[in-house]
């Protein structure tokens, strides 16, 4: 039996490079070696955004990006959290196993609350975000959770909850491990973390022209003003993109930037030219599915049926262990 992966994202629409190199690329790489389960975390989306008007289209756009990037939905079920009520049920049970001060220490939740300006006014559901995530992961008895670095506190809580349940009742849950990539916190064009709300993204679906325009606007080393000025690749966002998407030239670029031989304009142009073809390969599948949205809906419905079976088995084991079966 293969070990299992559970990972997911909130359905916020088209994905950006940060989503890709932080998580999705890893999902695709590990497919085959593991049984992948991929969650559309729509309940989680509500914790930071109550506006559901675009949720159907955003879900399709996200799933199209998953499939375009190489997730095979036949092999790896793609499913909707809110369609599998067992997520809510297990969340409720887990909420008895976690203390409020433990949740108040979660750095990722705190950072989100700070960004939203709700630190002193957090909703109950947001505080419980990582508990719901623990339910997502443990329902499928996942061994591995490939995520961006910001998700590691949630995986840590998941491990604690699994141990707590196992020691209180019976050994039902595998204690899963998180897995991050080398570029699990990719900078955006402005140097902040790449994020939709900051408007500093490159989307997987951007055309070559859009990529070129965006890369040309990226912030580099602020002390390097003209060609000839020695640059500091270690503080340059475009250099980070070179390390990830143009590894063959990384050393030359580093040396030429430092010496001043390479100017930022040429360096950016080169970056865009190397990146665009790597995203171009996703285009064909995306354009097919964009024209056949019904197929995406079918893929999700099918994945949800398959995932639900696993979730139901786990809940039966949970209630048996709790003497409530």
Residues of this chain that bind ligand TRP (CB under 6 A): 6-10, 39, 41, 44, 133, 136-137, 145, 147, 151
Closer to ligand TRP by Cβ: residue 5 or 236: 5
Closer to ligand TRP by Cβ: residue 91 or 241: 91
Nearest to ligand TRP by Cβ — which residue?
Answer: 41
Closer to ligand TRP by Cβ: residue 157 or 202: 157
CB of 296 to ligand TRP, least distance (A): 19
The two three-digit tokens of residue 13, written as one number = 């629409």
Radius of gyration of the chain (CA): 21
CB of 119 to ligand TRP, least distance (A): 19
Closer to ligand TRP by Cβ: residue 136 or 254: 136
CB of 239 to ligand TRP, least distance (A): 26
CB of 283 to ligand TRP, least distance (A): 25
Q: In 149-227, which residue ranges form alpha helices assigned H by DSSP?
A: 152-168, 208-216
Instruction: Give the C-alpha distances (Å, rounded to integers) separating 238 from 148, 195, 252.
Output: 20, 16, 14
CB of 109 to ligand TRP, least distance (A): 10
Q: Write the DSSP string, 67-86.
A: HHTT--TTTS-EEEGGG-TH
H helix or E strand, kind and range, residue 100: helix 100-104
Closer to ligand TRP by Cβ: residue 149 or 302: 149
What is the spatial order of strands in the sheet that 35-40 belongs to?
A: 78-80, 35-40, 4-9, 144-146, 177-179
């Amino acid at each position: 039996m293969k070990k299992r992966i559970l990972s997911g994202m909130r359905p916020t629409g088209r994905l950006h490079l940060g989503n890709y190199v932080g998580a999705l690329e890893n999902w695709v790489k590990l497919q085959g070696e593991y049984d992948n389960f991929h969650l559309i975390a729509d309940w989680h989306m509500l914790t930071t955004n109550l506006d559901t008007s675009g949720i159907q289209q955003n879900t399709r756009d996200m799933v199209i990006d998953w499939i375009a990037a190489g997730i095979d939905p036949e092999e790896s079920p793609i499913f909707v959290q809110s369609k599998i009520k067992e997520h809510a049920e297990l969340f409720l049970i887990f909420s008895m196993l976690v203390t409020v001060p433990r949740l108040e220490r979660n750095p990722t939740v705190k950072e989100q609350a700070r960004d939203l300006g709700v630190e002193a006014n957090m909703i109950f559901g947001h505080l419980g975000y990582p508990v719901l995530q623990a339910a997502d992961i443990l329902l499928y008895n996942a061994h591995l959770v490939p995520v961006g670095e910001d998700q590691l506190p949630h995986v840590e809580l998941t491990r604690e909850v699994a141990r707590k349940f196992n020691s209180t009742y019976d050994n039902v849950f595998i204690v899963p491990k998180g897995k991050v990539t080398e570029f699990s916190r990719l900078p955006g064009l402005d140097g902040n973390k790449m994020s939709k709300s900051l408007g500093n993204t490159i989307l997987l679906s951007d055309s070559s022209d859009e990529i070129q325009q965006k890369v040309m606007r990226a912030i580099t080393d602020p002390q390097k003003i003209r060609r000839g000025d020695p640059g500091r690749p270690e503080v340059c966002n475009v250099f980070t993109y070179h390390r990830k998407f143009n590894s063959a030239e990384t050393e030359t670029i580093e040396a030429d930037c430092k010496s001043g031989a390479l100017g930022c304009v040429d360096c950016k142009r080169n970056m865009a030219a190397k990146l665009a073809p790597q995203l171009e390969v996703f285009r064909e599948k995306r354009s097919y599915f964009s024209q056949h949205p019904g197929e995406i809906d079918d893929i999700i419905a099918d994945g949800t049926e398959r995932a639900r079976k696993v979730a139901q088995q786990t809940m039966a084991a949970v209630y048996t262990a709790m003497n409530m079966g």
